[in-house]
Every structure is written in structure tokens, then in C-alpha cells.
Structure 1
Amino acid sequence: MAQLILHHYPRSPFAEKARCLLGFKQLAWSSVITPPIMPKPDVVALTGGYRRTPILQIGADIYCDTALIAEVLENLAPTPTLYPPAIASSARIHALWADSALFWCAVPYTLQPAGLQHMFAGAPPEMIQAFGNDRAALRANAPRIGLAEATSTLHAYIHLIEQQLADGRPWLLGTQISIADFSTYHPLWFVRQAGAIGSIVDAHGHVVAWMQRLHAIGHGSFEKMDSSAAIAIAAATTPQTITNPELFELQGFQVGDAVTIAASDYGTDPVDGELVAAYHNEFLLRRFDPRAGEVTVHFPRLGYQIKHKKQEAST
């Protein structure tokens, strides 16, 4: 199996989701620790500007967003599955809710002053300020809610999850674990990293027991890798050959077009390159970097926008 390289940092909630997915799939991987805030020159060398965490690298193919990373890992290791056939559609819908609505309540709640003080205990004030400024830039186009609303909504969501688990089921959708569990786990994991305010989760016994079951899965086996070594691997590798470069339901575009692709909610820095393909679940963008060489950057279809390069320049 090809070498899996995860670019991440320890406190990233979505990175925790990816680490747990790798553990569930019992895959060996290499760990590249990235800066939590910009600048991220080695990340940008691979992605062309995409700055969200984590990214998964397989040679010269770079996969962005855990929604797509989960699909990639499923294809590499179909067993055990993240998408049990009987609940696959429900699991995907539940995961979309957790990665968006639940996540965007967990973030402002966790990053309240008490949470930041715990997470940055002993750090100089300028580091905390730099983190705040970076996250403000990252969330530029994302919907924002105040702390009071985030707290009350998070209470309601956790209460619903507690009720969902109250019948004794081990996993959110019943007896089978699925992507719904991993996507719901990481925002609550993030809340519990913030010290005393994590009691909003701890007061729910079924939720805590469910989180302990997920935590026990672990992160699999991994070894540390320097980011320069990861870039060298990309430079020495050729991106996967695209044998069927279709443009599924993508009107007005052709293979080879100069395009930009960007997230539509937050971290909307556009990545430009040559459109390679567009399948039902992903965009493929070919680009060249002086250090990483020729790479293909993969994005999910949902939550991402594609534009012609000239259109992007004029907007």
C-alpha cells in the first residue's frame, strides 16, 4: 500500500477525526506536524494555498478535507467499513450535520476566554493574539454565532445525542460504527480539550461512554516525518494517472481548463491549476510547485466552488 502522510497538528479537531479514521482502518501512516496558524509554507507548497487542517498526502496526490479523506481511506481499506450498506446514506447525512452545524457551535464555545486560557496555558499573550487573528481570517466568510447562542445550541445538540444513545446502542446509528460517529466525535473532543468548560459534555453519561469507545480505537501506528521529507516525496513521485477524466454534472468546463477551487464556508483561499477531472464526489486539480513539483490536489464536491481562472480574477 502507498505511504500515507498526514499533515496535521495535535489540537486540530478535524485532524483528530482523521487520526481516528486511520486508527479504525488499522493503517500505518507518517505524521507531519504543521503550524497551527499561517504562515504554512510547506503546506502551501503541496496544496497551492489551501490552509485548512489536515491534509492527506499519497505521493504527489494531495487530499483536502476529512470528508474526502474518509472516502480515500475507505477505498484503500474497505474493511472495516465507514459506510455500512444499511445505514450508509443516514451516516453521510449525519456526518454532514456534525462537520458543519455541530462543529460551528463547538468552536466559539471552546474558544471562549476560559477555553483559550486552558489551551494556551503559559503561552505569551502575543501567541494567543496571533492565534485569534489567524482564526478570524480563517472564518472570514463563515457564519458566526455569539457565545450565548453557541452554548445553548451546543447544550441542545449534546442532549439529543445523549437521547440517541440512551437505548443502549453502542454507536450513533445502532450496532454498527460509521462515519457518523467519527464526525460527531471530533467537535466534542475539541470541547473537552478546553479544561473545565468541557463539563458541558461530561454531564452526559451516555455521550461520555460513547466517546470512550471511540477513543479506545486509537490512532493506529505512525512514525514522525519532517515536512521537507514529505515535499521531497511529492517531488520524486508522479501523480496518479487519470484513466477516466470525466466532468460529472459540471457544465461549462472542460478538462485542461485553468480554474480555481476554494471552500465555500471558511478558509476560502483559492487554489489555482488545471482541471483534471470532476467525479461525483471530488474535483481534481493539477498544479506545479518549484519545491513539490507536479501534484494533483483533490477536493470534495460538496462545500467547494470551482471557477474559471479568468472569472476568479474579475470577481
Structure 2
Amino acid sequence: MSDLILHHYPVSPFAEKIRLILGHKQLAWKSVLIPMVMPKPELTALTGGYRKTPVLQIGADLYCDTALICDVLEHLAPAPTLYPAANKGAARIVAQWADSALFPVAMAYNFQPAGVAQVFAGAPTEVLQAFVADRTAMRGGAARMASADATGAYKSYLRRLANMLQGQDYLFGEQPCVADFAAYHPLWFTQERTPALTGIFDPTPEVLAWMARMKAIGHGTSSQCSAEEALQLAHSATPATLPDEGFQDEHGLPLGSAVVIAADNFGQEPTEGELVAATRTRLTLRRTDARAGTVHVHFPRVGFTLKKAVA
């Protein structure tokens, strides 16, 4: 197996989700640190436009979105499983809720003034300004939820998690699954980056105990890798043979079409390339870059749109 290369930055919550899964599965991985805001020239040379964090690279294959990265890691290391047979569908649904509903509420709570002061303590004003401008662009100009509304919703969500944890160590039993890693990462940011705001956890001791168990999993074994090295590795590699999972056409676009894939809401920077796979669960583009060579960029179907490229 080629090296697992994670393109991330230390304070990224979604990257923490994957770092913990790598630790849970005891996989060795290489760490490429990327900027927190655009531009990200080395990353986008690999992905063709996708800029969200993290991205998993295996040779000349780039996997975007943590839902897909979870599936890839599960395939590489099936045990311990992220998807327990008895709760496979429910675990995926809770994970999707955590990523799409819990995460934005938690981050709106975290980025109230007291949280911002801790996250950017000691940083020049222009760093904060650049971050605000970058995330505003990623939201397409939409306003962030007001902190008061976020606080109320966050408290409700924490109570729901506490209810799930009553009488058991993890959300679906005695072992962590994909739902645990997805629900943990926005709470991790509150605890680790905005400690002035951690009083919100006090009414839910079950959640606090669970968070301690999740943190103890750790990140496994990692080593540093430069962005330039990652580009060279992609350039010297050949994309893996695509599995024969069948072509599922939902758009009237045959394989070989020039298409554009983009997230359906947050961070909608497009990636253009040749459609080389469209399965039940994922979409794959082939693209060529002067620095990265020929690569395959993979996206999950859920959360992304596919359109014909404009000539």
C-alpha cells in the first residue's frame, strides 16, 4: 500500500476526525500541513480546485470529504470497523447529522467574541481579517448563525448525545464508530481551542467522559512530509485501477465527459476534469496538472453536484 498522506492543519476539526480514525485503526500516515485560508497552491494543484480540509492522498489518488475518506480507510483497514453491522445505517445517519448540523452550530458558538479572542490570541489583526474573509467566501456570503441561537441549539444537541451515551461508552455501544468520530470533532474544537467556553459541557457529564475516551485514542504514528514532496509523489505515481463497481448514470453524462464537481453548499470551489467513474457512492475525475501529473480526484455523491463543463 502506498503511503497515506493527510493534507491538513492542526486546528481543523474535520482533520481531527480523520486523525483520530487513523489512530483508531493504527495506520501510519504522513502529515502535509496546508494553509488555513486560501490560497493553497500545492493542494489545489492536486485537487484542481477543491480546497476544504482535510484531503487524503494515496499516490496519485486524492480523496475529498471526510465521509469518503472514512470509507477509504475502512476498506484499507476493516478492523476495528467504523460501521458496526447492527447499526451501520444509523451510524452513518448520525455521522451525517454531526457533520452537517452539529458542526455549524458548534462553530457558531465557538466563534463568539470570547472564543475568537482565544483562537487568534497573539495573531496580527490581518490574520483574523483574512480568516473572516475566507470563511465568508466559503459560505457564499451567507451570514453565520447568531451566537445566542447557536448556544441554544448546541445545548440541545449535547443533551441528545448524552441521552445516547447513557449506559454505554460510545454512541452505539462499547466501541467507537463513525458516528463518534463525527460528533466528537466540533466538540474537540470547543474544548481545545476555546476553553473559555467549555462550561457548556458541564450539564452533560456523560459527554465529557465520552470526550475523554475519544481524545485518548490518539493520532497513531505520523511523520512530516512537505507539500512539494507530496506533489512529486503524485507526479511519479499512476492512479490506482478503478474498482469494477458499475456505472450509475444520474445526469445523462457518459464516462469520458468533461464535467465539474463542487460541494452543494459550503466551500463550492469547482473541480473540472474527465469523468472516469460514477458508482453508487462516489464520483471520480481524471485531471492533469503540470506539478501533480495525472491524478484521480474522488468525491462522495452525497454533498456534491455534478455538471457538464462549459466549453
Q: Give me the TM-score of the superposition, normalised by structure 2.
A: 0.97
Distance 1:141 1:173 in 2: 37
Distance 2:35 2:199 in 1: 28
Match of 2:76 in 1: 76
Does the alignment pair 1:21 with 2:21? yes
Does the alignment pair 1:186 with 2:188? no
Match of 1:172 in 2: 171
Aligned-pair distance for 1:195? 2.1
Distance 1:283 1:97 in 2: 22
- Asked if structure 2 preserves the Cα contact closer than 8 Å seen for 1:142 and 1:266, the reply is no
Structure 1 stretch 134-143 or stretch 21-30: which is displaced more?
134-143
* Partner AA of 1:303 in structure 2: G
Q: Summarize the alignment of residues 40-59 of structure 1 with structure 2, pairs less than 5 Å apart.
A: 40-59=40-59
Distance 2:81 2:142 in 1: 32
- Asked if structure 2 preserves the Cα contact closer than 8 Å seen for 1:6 and 1:56, the reply is yes
Secondary structure at 2:56 match in 1: strand
Aligned-pair distance for 1:183? 0.4
Match of 1:279 in 2: 279
Match of 2:107 in 1: 107
Aligned-pair distance for 1:285? 0.5
Distance 1:89 1:299 in 2: 20
Aligned-pair distance for 1:249? 4.2
Taking only aligned residues, the RMSD between alpha carbons, in angstroms, comes to 1.4
- Asked if structure 1 preserves the Cα contact closer than 8 Å seen for 2:201 and 2:208, the reply is yes
Per-residue deviation, residues 275-314 of structure 1 (Å, max 9, x unmatched): 001111110010011100000000010000000002xx7x
Distance 1:57 1:128 in 2: 29
- Asked if structure 1 preserves the Cα contact closer than 8 Å seen for 2:259 and 2:306, the reply is yes
Aligned-pair distance for 1:126? 1.1
Aligned-pair distance for 1:127? 0.8
Match of 1:90 in 2: 90
Aligned-pair distance for 1:141? 6.6
- Asked if structure 1 preserves the Cα contact closer than 8 Å seen for 2:17 and 2:181, the reply is yes
Gaps of 5+ in 1: none
Structure 1 stretch 50-59 or stretch 142-151: which is displaced more?
142-151
Per-residue deviation, residues 100-145 of structure 1 (Å, max 9, x unmatched): 1101101111111111110111111111111111111111176842
* Partner AA of 2:257 in structure 1: D
The structure-2 alpha-carbon separation of the partners of 1:99 and 1:141, relative to structure 1 and needing over 3 Å to count, comes to farther
Q: Summarize the alignment of residues 194-233 of structure 1 with structure 2, pairs less than 5 Å apart.
A: 194-233=194-233
Aligned-pair distance for 1:201? 2.1
Per-residue deviation, residues 36-55 of structure 1 (Å, max 9, x unmatched): 00110001000001010000
Distance 2:180 2:199 in 1: 20
Secondary structure at 1:234 match in 2: helix
Aligned-pair distance for 1:232? 0.3
- Asked if structure 1 preserves the Cα contact closer than 8 Å seen for 2:4 and 2:56, the reply is yes
Aligned-pair distance for 1:251? 3.6
The structure-2 alpha-carbon separation of the partners of 1:143 and 1:78, relative to structure 1 and needing over 3 Å to count, comes to farther
* Partner AA of 1:188 in structure 2: L
Per-residue deviation, residues 18-67 of structure 1 (Å, max 9, x unmatched): 10010011000000000000110001000001010000000000000100
The structure-2 alpha-carbon separation of the partners of 1:183 and 1:32, relative to structure 1 and needing over 3 Å to count, comes to same
Secondary structure at 1:217 match in 2: coil
* Partner AA of 2:6 in structure 1: L
Match of 1:2 in 2: 2
The structure-2 alpha-carbon separation of the partners of 1:126 and 1:234, relative to structure 1 and needing over 3 Å to count, comes to same
Distance 1:160 1:105 in 2: 14
- Percent same amino acid at aligned positions? 52
- Asked if structure 1 preserves the Cα contact closer than 8 Å seen for 2:136 and 2:142, the reply is no
Distance 1:26 1:32 in 2: 19
Distance 1:260 1:291 in 2: 21
User: How many equivalent pairs are there?
Assistant: 310
The structure-2 alpha-carbon separation of the partners of 1:143 and 1:117, relative to structure 1 and needing over 3 Å to count, comes to closer
